[in-house]
Homo-oligomer: A and B are copies of this chain.
Amino acid sequence: MFGFKLKEKDINTKARCGLITTAHGNVETPAFMPVGTQATVKTMTPGDLEEMGFQMMIVNAYHLYLRPGHQLVKEMGGLQKFMGWNKPVTTDSGGFQVLSLAKTRKIHEHGISFQSHLDGSSHLLTPQKAIEIQEYLNSDIMMCLDECPPVDAPKEYIDKAVELTTKWAKECRHSKTDETKALFGIVQGGVHEDLRQKSMDQLMELNFEGYSIGGLGIGEDSEETYQTTEFCLNTLPENKVRYLMGIGRPTDIVEAVSKGVDLFDCVIPTRNARNGNVFTNNGKIVIKNAQYSNDKSQLDEKCGCYTCTNFSRAYLRHLFLAGELLSHRLLTLHNLYFYASLMKRIRESIVQGKFEELRRDFSGKENEE
């Protein structure tokens, strides 16, 4: 059921448009997936996300395994039915969250043992288990269990993590029972080109439906992120989906698209919203700032989202300072709308042969620190 077709290639860069097909519908790429960690994109309904034009969501296998449990989600008809989101869903394997969130986690050859960050209960996440969880969740695009070492790990350690990631990837490949779903291999290797090459060579032998670039956006500088991404994209097969995991400032997305990335996910638009940091076409707005206290204008004059068409900066500042939940909702809506619009513009510009223009225009707009 899963498929991917390249539709357009940019003439000036390596940017590309494609179409992912799944059992739950299609996804035009390059695409951004809003992050629904606990089976919900915080404050947003599925209806909100659909209206903005998002076609796929990413959900967290680790969190749902612990609560409410993947068996329960299966019993409820899978994530789509459970969440009321009748569209494609990507899941991560849980590996990254186990390593970053769980207590006393320990990496063995056969998997990762850890204690739940919720109640301290003991668990073992093996490659087989990671696939079972994701199949029970009814994910359309699953991830292999991988090991993502810290950015400052010694090269020998990163090399070992590549080996283990390949071993687990094989076991995941063999554990998969549902042919309608896609399974992506995750490339590791830090910022070392030889290790990245080794990781890719080993994974590509297993012929995954797509490839994720993991282990970036964890503390290395932007130049290293871009270089490593570019290096990987020069090797990864052109006819497969390329997913750059967890990276997603707007300028990162435009840069990565120019190198040939198809899929993105990132908590930045949603988390920034809850912290009062707003993306606009004229740069970042920190909504709590006093300069907006009596500002009648909308967040972004070029934006057509519900927040911008109905509320002033002054009102949004008031909601934020008053700690009102509506602030989180309205700013999340706006930031995600900004991302959805950006992806749409990117796709259109590639089709029209104008991506390089967009990229040039975009780099001047400072939405980042």
Contact = CB atoms under 8 A, between A and B. Distances in A.
Interface of A: 38-40, 42-47, 63, 67-68, 72, 75-77, 82-84, 293-294, 296, 306, 310-312, 314-315, 317-319, 321-322, 324-326, 328-330
- Report, nearest first, the 3 A-B pairs whose CB atoms are least far apart: A84-B310, A68-B318, A38-B322
- Stoichiometry, copies per complex: 2
A43 B46 CA distance: 16
Contacts of A296: 76-77
A29 B166 CA distance: 69
Contacts of A319: 38-40
Contacts of A326: 40, 42-45
A72 B314 contact: yes
Contacts of A72: 293-294, 314
A68 B293 contact: yes
Contacts of A42: 324-326
28 contacts: A38-B318, A38-B324, A40-B319, A40-B324, A40-B326, A42-B324, A43-B325, A43-B329, A45-B306, A45-B329, A47-B306, A67-B322, A68-B317, A68-B321, A76-B296, A76-B312, A76-B314, A82-B312, A82-B314, A82-B315, A82-B318, A83-B315, A84-B310, A84-B311, A84-B315, A325-B325, A325-B328, A325-B329
